[in-house]
Chains A and B, each alone.
Chain A
């Protein structure tokens, strides 16, 4: 697998048109890292502003991983730890809602790790029954993002 100059130009356009600052591609070991000029290498905003921690720490939340699967469903687990987003960008409709049908390739959300956006796919065919993961919050590796009743 190799990339032509034309391919790279098209990928650059796709990044330009998106709301993301960086894009990482890994095609059979060939890696491409693109960053918008002016994009901060470090996250522009912390999930919780530093000022908060200077006062009192936000209450410690014991992880949501204890959420129980509704009968007859399978969880779609977070493939990595990061901030979970249900929509492609703020203000846009979510990728999926409860009741929607998903295919294995359906994108169900995005997980951000240090400004790198990773799309998450359903990996299963069926009906979305519940979405326990909340938009903009930290999910851990293996945490259930949604529950799907497989076909």
Chain B
């Protein structure tokens, strides 16, 4: 089928990003907006704008029936969900399917399959993709046997637990019996459930994810990996492709594992398989799969030369994958900084308001994905992402230097931003060296 008109069920920079690809493909765009986003930059660029409700996401962007009704009423052939909001809500994908509107993304069944952590872990094991070694144990004999297989350090965790209670770290196998008794006792007291499980402790973990494209018929290619280890409380701040300082064999194993996982699901569209790379052991474990386009997709676009949004749309129309795996080329390096309206001096509190002046950078290898211009407002209802600055270069160091220069050229007035903080991170010796683990920021700030 041919998609002529797409309803974009999102806002912010990704809405504008989707509009851009639609325009390049000659597709009309209908944008749903909340009252707070009526005058946004995406609203000014869409062919048609439909207001679906008040500012709070629960009253507008998250209303499944209203969004599907908007697609039907505007005679859109397809819906692009962007990221966040309804993008990984299986009931929404299913509702679109039932209404005869193409959901630009995976099937509802695939969203279900990867949305549940336990099920995703089982799928990974079935696809011969490594998961964090561990499992439930009963009694010391079982625990000793499993601990020997996992190796130390390891964690004992309460099956019924959370919040660190009933959790013990074991650095030597000889400590296991006592730690097991204590953990089970604590777990029983805290949760009324003394069952525990063992899990390998990853002291230095890196977040490395693999971008995949699937045709929905079992054909899957990967487009290399992204390293997103610079995180603050699980929020990614800097992403890059390829992952620096990664042994080539390990890199190839990651790619192959991601493709195996997606192929087993006969995955359709763009998706990301996330891994925890154990830097000390040189091993990796499946974390989860994100069944959507991701914020950090531009770094992959910069090194592969592909338009991932356009590929999502083509695949949704039933097209074959754009190229064979052997034709995928990774050209140079790309790094992205997320620029957020938040105040680093006040524990990164969100800083909504009106942007008095905005000047984004330009230059060799520089790309900016943003919905913010002079006069734009940053409503308090949504995430604080103002835009992403991406730099590409033949080497990581050139990309990094270009990005540092671009950040220095950026001016955002009226709201607080993390621009200065990001500049410092880019020139941190550990980051310059490359290959930091996810504890980098906490150590640095702490």
Contacts and interface: CB of A to CB of B under 8 A. Distances in A.
Interface stretch (B43-51, B284-292, B328-336): B43-51
B65 interface: yes
B181 interface: no
A48 to B, nearest CB: 4
A50 B51 contact: no
B73 interface: yes
Contacts of B35: 141-142
Contacts of B98: 41-42
A57 B4 contact: yes
A138 interface: yes
B75 interface: yes
Nearest to B5: A57
B424 interface: no
Contacts of B50: 63, 81, 138, 140
A46 B70 contact: no
Interface in B56-110: 60, 65-66, 68-70, 72-77, 95, 98-100
A29 to B, nearest CB: 16
A142 B65 contact: no
A54 B52 contact: no
Contact of B74 (A54, A65, A138, A143): A138
Contacts of A61: 48
B75 A58 contact: yes
Contact of B66 (A57, A65, A82): A82
A32 interface: no
A82 B4 CA distance: 22
Given A53-B77, A60-B47, A141 B65 contact: no
Given A113-B65, A114-B65, A141 B51 contact: yes
B52 A81 contact: yes
Binding site of B, secondary structure by majority: helix, strand, loop or mixed? mixed
A82 B52 CA distance: 9
B1 interface: yes
B151 interface: no
B53 interface: yes
A53 B4 contact: yes
Contacts of B77: 53
Contacts of B66: 80-82, 113
Interface string A52-76: 1110111011110100000000000
Contact of B52 (A56, A57, A141): A141
B28 interface: yes
Contact of B1 (A47, A54, A58, A140): A54
Nearest to A82: B69
The CB with the most chain B CB atoms within 10 A, among A43, A81, A138, is that of A81
Given A54-B1, A81-B53, A141-B53, A46 B100 contact: yes
A43 to B, nearest CB: 6
A105 B68 CA distance: 29
Interface string A20-50: 0000000000000000000001110011101
A87 interface: no
B445 to A, nearest CB: 42
A141 B142 CA distance: 61
B65 A60 contact: no
A110 B175 CA distance: 70
Interface of A: 41-43, 46-48, 50, 52-54, 56-58, 60-63, 65, 80-83, 112-114, 116, 137-138, 140-143
Given A138-B50, A140-B52, 15 more contacts: A43-B72, A54-B2, A60-B47, A63-B48, A80-B52, A81-B66, A81-B70, A82-B73, A83-B69, A112-B69, A113-B65, A113-B69, A114-B68, A116-B65, A141-B51
